[in-house]
């Protein structure tokens, strides 16, 4: 299992602070640094921050493995 931290800002009727910390399987966490990064980030943002507009390049992702 990998611990994933997502930090950044978005926009929805004003600035929205994006701070989320969760655990996911290592294979899924690897996709957050690969070619599928933007798609994985879009799925996470749609689930946890619906309607928030954001720039994927301004969202930082930190992965730590146990």
pLDDT in tens, 51-65: 999 999 999 999 999
Are 54 and 10 contacting, i.e. CB atoms less than 8 angstroms apart?
A: yes
Q: Tell me the mean pLDDT in the region 18-24.
A: 95
**Residue 33 pLDDT class (50, 70, 90 cuts):** confident
DSSP, collapsed to helix, strand or coil, labels residue 28 as helix
Are 58 and 8 contacting, i.e. CB atoms less than 8 angstroms apart?
A: yes
Q: Which CATH class is domain 2-65?
A: alpha beta
* Rounded Cα–Cα distance for residues 40 and 46 (Å): 10
Are 4 and 23 contacting, i.e. CB atoms less than 8 angstroms apart?
A: yes
What are the residue ranges spanned by the domains of the chain? 2-65
Are 15 and 61 contacting, i.e. CB atoms less than 8 angstroms apart?
A: no
**Secondary structure letter of residue 31 according to DSSP:** H
């Amino acid at each position: 299992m990998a611990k994933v931290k997502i930090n950044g800002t978005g926009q929805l009727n004003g600035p929205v602070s994006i701070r989320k910390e969760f655990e996911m399987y290592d294979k899924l966490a690897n996709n957050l640094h690969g070619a599928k990064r933007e798609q994985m980030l879009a799925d996470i943002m749609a689930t946890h921050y619906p309607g928030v507009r954001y720039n994927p390049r301004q969202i930082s992702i930190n992965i730590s493995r146990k």
